Amino acid sequence: MDYNAKFTNIHMDAIREVGNIGTGNAATALSRLLERVVNMDVPVAEMVPIYDVATHYGSPEMSVCAVLVRTEGEFSCSLIFMIDEEKAAIMTDLIIPMDISGMDEAARMQIRDSAIAEQGNIILGAFLNALSKITGWTLPTTTPAVARDMLGSIMDLVASMFGVIGESAMLVKTSLHIKDVDEELAGTVIMIPDPGSLECLLAKLGVL
């Protein structure tokens, strides 16, 4: 059966609403952490052919920083927070309470990796908390994993996750815009429900 055909507009609306509530909570958490206004876009939920996933959000060779957490149990899902590599440095420096510009490259990267992991953890943890509240599910999360790499390489993994069961991937994407900084600063939250998990979520929400 085609994985695409199973989801109607009502299903897509419900999935988008989950993205909305999750990212809303994530934006609030990030705003508190950074002590700055954080705005969010309207979430986009879409089925993307797995062969296009790597290029769907930009050039495959674009350099990005990504934080991934997973929840496994009643509902299994991966969440990725992704931000341009250069913007990641600006965002992490907002919470690093000292000047690290004089340190050597390796030490700086280590501090920034730790900071972005924590920021990603707070953003994605808040998303999952919201999801836990609306479903009543306990959603234990893994510790955050950080990758700094090409966009295509990171999305490659996402394509493989869905490739096992079908030809398209359900991606729910929302942009977060951080205000009161000198430069335009925006990151992206992507929810990637494990194949098969969406059905559980839709059933729980009463639309399946």
Partner 1 sequence: MAQPIHVGMADLVVSRHPATLITLGLGSCIGLVIFDQVSKTAGMVHIMLPDSREAHNIPKPGKFADTAVPFLLDELYKLGAIKAQLRAKMAGGAQMFAMPGKSDNAIFAVGNRNIEATTKMLSVAGIRLMSSDTGGSKGRSVEFSTETLKFTVKTLGTGTKEI
Residues forming contacts to partner 1 in the complex (CB under 8 A) are 50-54, 60-61, 63, 66, 68, 70, 142-143, 145-157, 159-161, 163-167
Q: Which of 17, 48, 5, 15 is nearest to 203 (CA)?
A: 15
Report the amino acid identity of residue 173.
Answer: K
CB closer to partner 1 out of 3 and 38: 3
For residue 152, the minimal CB distance to partner 1 (Å) is 2
Calpha distance 75→72 (Å, rounded): 6
Nearer to partner 1 by Cβ, of 18 and 68: the residue is 68
Quickly tell me which residue has 């899902």 as its tokens: 77
Give the whole-angstrom CA distance, residue 49 versus residue 28: 32
24 vs 166, beta carbon nearer partner 1: 166
DSSP string, 63-102: EEEEEEEEE-SSS-EEEEEEEEHHHHHHHHHTT--S--TT
Least distance CB 192 / partner 1 (angstroms): 11
Nearer to partner 1 by Cβ, of 38 and 83: the residue is 83
Q: Quote the least distance from Cβ 50 to partner 1, whole Å.
A: 7
Smallest separation (angstroms) from partner 1 to the CB of 165: 7
